[in-house]
Amino acid sequence: MKDHLEAYSSYERQKSLIEECFQTYFEGLHRYAFTILKDNDDAKDAVQAVFMKLWEYRDQIDESKSLKAFLYRAVYNYCLNVKRHHQIVLRYQAEQRAGVSGEENMLISKENTRRIMDQIAALAPQCRLIFTKSRFENKTYAEIAAELGLSVKTVEVQMGKALKILRAKLFGVLVLWTILFLM
């Protein structure tokens, strides 16, 4: 029975000590936390979290040491953790936005490539053949003319036709590409 009474009085003593600390230091700790965090709610949360930790570890309180210094140091550390966490969240959100826009750009690029290839496939057969040899095989007009048994002038005219048709058909794609790469 005596042990039970000692435990009860110890609990009551710890409870009253923490209540007294809360009443005495809360306002000053809140102002201190606010100067670090610049947010009233976060500052209140910081002080309350420190007092919750103090309550959890009430059995380990050494009354001979300065409780005030401990509380201020604990609030400071908690506030630094909040700021670090906030920076991590901001960095994560920025990375997510960058990742999404990169994925969107890749999808747009694939779609535009498909549109371009479809328009090339829609060219007249000889025009398409000359265009693909020039642009994809990197052949000169003279090489294309010799290979196909045509005059260089015919190859030039066919390339001019192909480019004119593709510019007209792919105007929207070209405008979109220009906008994307200028942003």
Judge if 15 and 81 occupy the same domain.
yes
Q: What is the CATH number of the domain that holds 58?
A: 1.10.1740.10
pLDDT per position as a tens digit, 94-113: 776 665 455 555 656 777 77
Examine residue 103 and state whether it is found in any structural domain, yes or no: no
Two tokens, residue 117: 């290839």
Judge if 67 and 127 occupy the same domain.
no
pLDDT per position as a tens digit, 3-21: 434 444 677 888 888 888 8
Number of domains in the chain: 2
Judge if 14 and 89 occupy the same domain.
yes
pLDDT per position as a tens digit, 61-74: 776 677 888 899 99
User: Reduced to 3 DSSP states, what percent helix, strand and coil does the chain have, rounded to the nearest 5?
Assistant: 85, 0, 15
Domain of residue 38 covers 2-93
Judge if 8 and 88 occupy the same domain.
yes
CA distance 28 to 25: 5
* Residue-level pLDDT at 42: 92
